[in-house]
Structure 1
Amino acid sequence: MMKTKVLEIGALVPDFKEESLLVLFNETAPLELKDISVIHRFEEQPKNALQQGTILVIGDKEYTIQKVGEEANPNFESLGHVSIYFKDDETEEILPGAVLVTPSDFPELNIGDSIEVK
C-alpha cells in the first residue's frame, strides 16, 4: 500500500522519544523542521494509506494504526508529512495531521530503513 525509505534522521529526533512522537517529512521539509524530522522518499506513493486498523511497519517493528487525523492522509501524500504518536491509550486526542499507533514502543530508526503501510 505504501513504502518509503529513510534518508536522514534529524539531530533532535531522539529527544522526542520521551513524548512518543515521530515526525516524518519528505525531502521538501523546511530547514527549520529537518532537525526534528525523519526525512524520507516514497518508493510507492501513498493513496489514502493511513487507515484505522492497518499495519505500520517501521524498521523491524509492527504497529497498528488506532486513530487517523483528518489531515493525515492529504499531508502525507503531498508533503510526506505525518506525526506518529506511539501510545497504548487509544482515547488520547490527536492533531489533524497525526496518527496514533500501538504498541507504545518507540522505534529505533537507521538511514536506509523502510517504513511501510500494509
Structure 2
Amino acid sequence: MKYNVKITGYGDMALDFLTENMLIIFNENAPNELKEISVLHEISELASEVEVGDLVEIGGKEYFVTSVGDEANHTLKTMGHCSLRFDGAEEPQLPGSIHLKGDGVPTIEIGKYITII
C-alpha cells in the first residue's frame, strides 16, 4: 500500500469540482484559504511514488492511474495535496494532477478512505 488516509472533512465548495470530474485533496492542516475547495484527510506518509497503473480506491470505488503530473508525488508527499481528475487522460493536464480511469466520480463521505495501491 502506497497511501491510505481517512477523509476528515471538506470545504463548502470542494464537492462542486466533482461536476468537472475533479477532486482536490489536502492534509487536514491545509491553509484556511485552500480548505474551502478541498477534501481534507488525515496526515500520512506516501510510502512510494504514484505511478501509471496503480489502483486508487476512494470511498470504495476503484480507479486506475492513467497519468501523473511532474509535481503530484512531491505535493502529495509534503502536503497530502494533488488534484485527482476522473478523465482517464494519458497526459497530465497540470503538474499537480493525477488522472484516473474508472466508473464515474466517487461519493465523498467523512470517515471513508482514499487508498493508493
TM-score, with length taken from structure 1: 0.90
Q: What is residue 71 of structure 1 aligned with on the other side?
A: 71
Equivalent positions of 1:1-118 (< 5 A) are: 1-43=2-44, 45-88=45-88, 90-91=89-90, 93-103=92-102, 105-118=104-117
Residue 74 of structure 2 aligns with an amino acid whose one-letter code is P
CA distance in 2, matches of 1:93, 1:46: 20
Give CA deviations for 1:34-55 in whole Å, capped at 9, x if unaligned: 0110110145x11333111000
Q: Which stretches of structure 1, 4 residues or longer, exceed 6 Å deviation after superposition?
A: none
The answer (yes or no) to whether the contact 2:56–2:63 under 8 Å persists in 1 is yes
Unmatched tracts of structure 1, length 5 or more: none
Q: Is the Cα–Cα contact under 8 Å of residues 26 and 82 in structure 2 kept in the other structure?
A: yes
Query: Is contact 2:66-2:90 (8 Å) kept?
Result: no
Give the number of equivalent residue pairs: 116
TM-superposed CA distance for 1:93, in Å, is 4.3
Q: Which blocks of at least 5 consecutive residues in structure 2 are unaligned?
A: none
Task: Report the identity percentage.
Answer: 35
CA contact 1:58–1:116 (8 Å) conserved in 2: yes
Which amino acid is the alignment partner of residue 109 of structure 1? Answer: I
1:18 Cα deviation after fit? 1.7
Greater mean deviation of Cα atoms: 26-35 or 51-60: 26-35
TM-score, normalised to structure 2's length?
A: 0.91
Cα deviations across residues 62-118 of structure 1 (Å, max 9, x unaligned)?
000000001000100000001000014x24541101110002511101101111011
